[in-house]
Amino acid sequence: MINTAVSNQQSRLPIDEARLVRAAGLVLGDAEYREGEISIAVVDDPTIHKLNARHLNHDYPTDVLSFPLLDAPPCVEGEVIVSADTAIENAARYGWPAESELCLYVVHGLLHLAGYGDKTDDDRREMRAAEAGVLTRLGVSLPEAKEAAP
């Protein structure tokens, strides 16, 4: 069994904790993980900015950070940290709910934990297809701008 803990450390965006836990189950189940511990933290931009600077030496806020702690199939452990502030800002740009944008970030981070990359065009296409598949099963439809994104 994969235990997933969600920590909401911001107040701007209501979160659907059950949907985020279900997202973890779908992504990691598809990757054939059967046991482990996953933590998902929903934070604000100042918090993710500090983490991004501290761990990746990037001096700016970002949408999602993933930290794999153990990858020994069928066991997985890791942390996914997402920014509600960035989700709110980007959702307005793409014309869809901020809750859906945040869910996309969680799915993206979980896919990184499951071994997906996004550095090459082929990897990005594979990542986008996996994101869309999981989001569809969660009842989230991507806006056209997101479907066409590189």
CATH number for region 2-140:
3.40.390.30
Is residue 118 within a helix (H) or strand (E), and if so which, with residue range?
none
pLDDT in tens, 103-146: 999 999 999 999 999 999 999 999 999 999 999 999 998 887 66
Give the pLDDT confidence score for residue 142 in this predicted structure: 84
Give the pLDDT confidence score for residue 150 in this predicted structure: 37
* Angle between the N-to-C axes of helices 121-137 and 17-30, in degrees from 0 to 180, rounded to the nearest 10: 130
pLDDT bracket for residue 2 (50, 70, 90): very high
Q: What is the mean pLDDT of residues 35-45?
A: 98
Q: Which residue in the block uniquely carries the two structure tokens 């800002």?
A: 89
d(CA 65, CA 75): 20
Q: What is the mean pLDDT of residues 31-58?
A: 97
Show me where the domains of the chain are located. 2-140
pLDDT in tens, 57-102: 999 999 999 999 999 999 999 999 999 999 999 999 999 999 999 9
Residue 21 φ then ψ, to 5°: -65, -40
